[in-house]
Chains A and B, each alone.
Chain A
Amino acid sequence: MLARPLLDFLTNPGHFVQQADGARWTAFLQLARQHGLTARCYYMLQSQGLMSQVPEQIRLHGLSAARYSKKQQHSLFYELQQLEAVFGRADFPCVLLKGAAYRALALPMSYGRLFADIDLLVPKAQLRSARDKLFFAGFAELPLSDYDRAYYLTWSHQNPPLQHYQRGTVIDLHHHIYPPASAKHIDIQVLLEHATPLPGSAFLVPTLAHLFLHAAVHLFYQEETHRLLKDIIDLQDLLNEVQQQQQLEFIWQQAQQMQVQSALVDACQVLLTLFDNQAARQLLTQHSVVRRQRLGASLVLAMLTGTGMTAWAARQLWFLRGHSLKMRWHILLYHAVAKPANGLRQLWRSKLKPR
């Protein structure tokens, strides 16, 4: 991966700031924008007291990005406020996930963290009810083909994305954190049970341990790579929070209950190797799994730090691995047969349409 200067910055900002010449900073700026991490880096520099050592030009670009992220923060808060009445009257819990949860809690990792949509989780039995409530609050599904819509509803863990007709905000309404139709069976009951209400709000947030486990599942049980660096840095910051709030034992126990230990171990192995993360070391040592590096962890490390062929090969393997985890053979078959068949049908229909 060509993101080395950015990875170097994230691993040790202090060292990077001391060593960087113009060329390194130029590459850093470019990569930080590409990965949506400019504002995040700005706040890292600020919290670590490094800003005075940073060239003015870099500080100003960081500030630019910070302004953008602040606008996003406001949009999120305003949107949640608009939804308070909707979920305040509901007789089921609505849990904020991912970026929305980090931001609502004002975790330091959320400073400058960009997000594209608002992720909400409701119990599966109430998905339809939640969707209807959101509809009356102005949120409708984006146009989708029948096939894609059926796919979302049958196989995935969320409703098709919902967009507000005026404000343009997009909500991803989940009933699970992972496709229930996949080979992995993840139990999210404990996540729901431990979720705590935000004071003065109708929304709940998962514990830090569950937020971490969700992020780890999100990264290690799928095939995408374009947000790799952002996902890794999220995990790093989250695990440090988990440790600070003394939830390390809890997280191990919860991972077992949810049957996601492998994602936790993968994440810890990557964080230990890249950042020498002490919480990761503690977890791995206590549960004596430190020796053998798991495939998921090895692939992520190869994609992040490997060069040329190694990184390329790792990406191919990662893709295969992610797909096989997410989909069982009969879903793959459905995809392979139904989607082209549907395409043919639509082509046929369009040919028959009167001109």
Chain B
Amino acid sequence: MTDFALNTAPFSVLVTSRSPALRAALTELYPLSLLSKVDANTIYDFSLDVRRRWAGWGRPFHVSSGQQHFRMTDKAQLVPVFEWGLNWCIASYQHQYLAIHAAVLEHGGKALILPAPPGSGKSTLCAVLMQQGWRLLSDEMCLIDLSSGLIWPYVRPVSLKNQSIALIKQWYPDARVRQITRGTTKGTVGYLLPSDLSWQAYQQPAQPAWVVFPQYQPEQTELMLTPLPKADAFMHLAYNSFNYNVLADEGFTALSALVQRCATYRLEYADINQVIRELNALC
């Protein structure tokens, strides 16, 4: 057994695995200080089993949480399946925060929320802004504190897909993209390491200030940043939430407070440099 712990915040995970492969791969993605031996005095929020059943090389790995099976994978796709497995645990069980499917970055103590369905260019945009000096809170999950309204970071490597891997490398030759895996259910996946600034503040919340719904439009020549009625922004955020329905009146109240204090926009763009200029100008 090579059990180990991944001490991310606000959630940690205990990984049970018979193979050293996963831990070795994760050392490329997470700071070594966050990967540790299992400590009997620590409570881990989630537990993931990553192991081969019916022991033997060449058998697929099963990723599961207790008896709840998540997915089977071969060794080559262990990292993405692990990352998705961890997201799945959190999306299924945590209702401590209102969780929205969105990227979150911070500048000057204020948080920018980028909610968007897959294909809208959210991850690429998130990666670009981080490379431009914004602090990454999350590329996937916006965690809103139900009482304070603050956004808590959940710093993890930024998941880039397909063409965006090449684009990021082209725009930022020093960007650290690791563990590129081909042929996953989402195509080619690679992980951009969070900036040092992001890791240093990985337990520091931020005040929400802007909600921007991005949409990549290749034919667009001029960027369009249009104010969005707050009621519309509210509905879109609720729709993009993992647990708005579960939280019922608490979710409504928390989301109302967030939308009330944020400026809300729709962003249609083709040229990434225009986006950087426009979003930096917001601050």
Contact = CB atoms under 8 A, between A and B. Distances in A.
Is A–B contact present in the complex under a CB 8 A cutoff?
yes
Contacts of A22: 39-44
A64 B93 contact: yes
Contacts of B43: 22, 25-26, 29, 55, 57-58
Nearest to B41: A22
Contacts of B95: 63-65, 67-68
A273 interface: no
Interface stretch (A30-38, A139-147, A149-157, A186-194): A30-38
Contact of A26 (B44, B65, B247): B44
A60 interface: yes
Contacts of B247: 67, 71
Interface residues of B, number: 24
A57 B45 contact: yes
B185 interface: no
Nearest to B67: A34
Given A21-B41, A34-B66, A26 B47 contact: yes
A291 interface: no
Interface string B207-233: 000000000000000000000000000
Given A30-B46, A34-B68, 12 more contacts: A21-B41, A22-B41, A22-B44, A29-B44, A29-B47, A34-B65, A57-B43, A58-B43, A64-B94, A70-B248, A71-B247, A74-B248
In the complex, the 6 A-B pairs of residues with the closest C-beta atoms, listed nearest first: A34-B66, A64-B95, A67-B95, A23-B40, A25-B43, A22-B42
B246 interface: yes
A20 to B, nearest CB: 9
A133 interface: no
Interface residues of A, number: 23
Interface of B: 14, 38-47, 65-68, 93-96, 245-248, 250
A70 B95 CA distance: 12
Given A33-B65, A64-B96, A67-B95, A21 B45 contact: no
Interface in A116-169: none
B128 to A, nearest CB: 33
Given A22-B41, A64-B93, A30 B246 contact: no
A33 B66 contact: yes
A33 to B, nearest CB: 6
Contact of B66 (A30, A63, A65, A67): A30
Contacts of A29: 43-47
Contacts of A64: 93-96
Nearest to B48: A30
A31 B66 contact: yes
28 contacts: A22-B42, A22-B43, A23-B38, A23-B41, A25-B43, A26-B44, A29-B43, A29-B46, A29-B47, A30-B46, A30-B66, A31-B66, A33-B65, A34-B65, A34-B68, A57-B43, A57-B45, A58-B43, A61-B94, A63-B95, A64-B94, A65-B95, A67-B95, A67-B246, A67-B247, A68-B246, A71-B245, A71-B247
